[in-house]
Amino acid sequence: MKVIVDYENCDSHGVCASVCPEVFELRDDDFMYVINENPDESLRPKIELAVKSCPKQALKLEG
């Protein structure tokens, strides 16, 4: 599976990083980074929750 971020919509407030810090990281520069674009299958539930929790619908999970 692959995590895709629509950075045009992302507000970088980091809800996703709170839900799944294994994949999403909010850095000191106030931008959100995907630190693992092809995460292990075991992280799927947390990533799906992050996708659902994103207030800007800026996240997509493929595969």
What are the Cα distances from residue 11, in Å, to 6, 41, 49, 50, 62? 10, 27, 18, 14, 21
Question: Considering beta carbons, is residue 16 or 47 the nearer one to ligand SF4?
Answer: 16
Task: Give the shortest CB-59-to-ligand SF4 separation in angstroms.
Answer: 5
Nearest alpha carbon to residue 56 among 21, 22, 12? 12
Residue 15 is a binding residue for ligand SF4 (CB under 6 A)? yes
Query: Residues 34 to 53: which contact ligand SF4 by CB under 6 A?
Result: none
- 56 binds ligand SF4, rule: CB under 6 A: yes
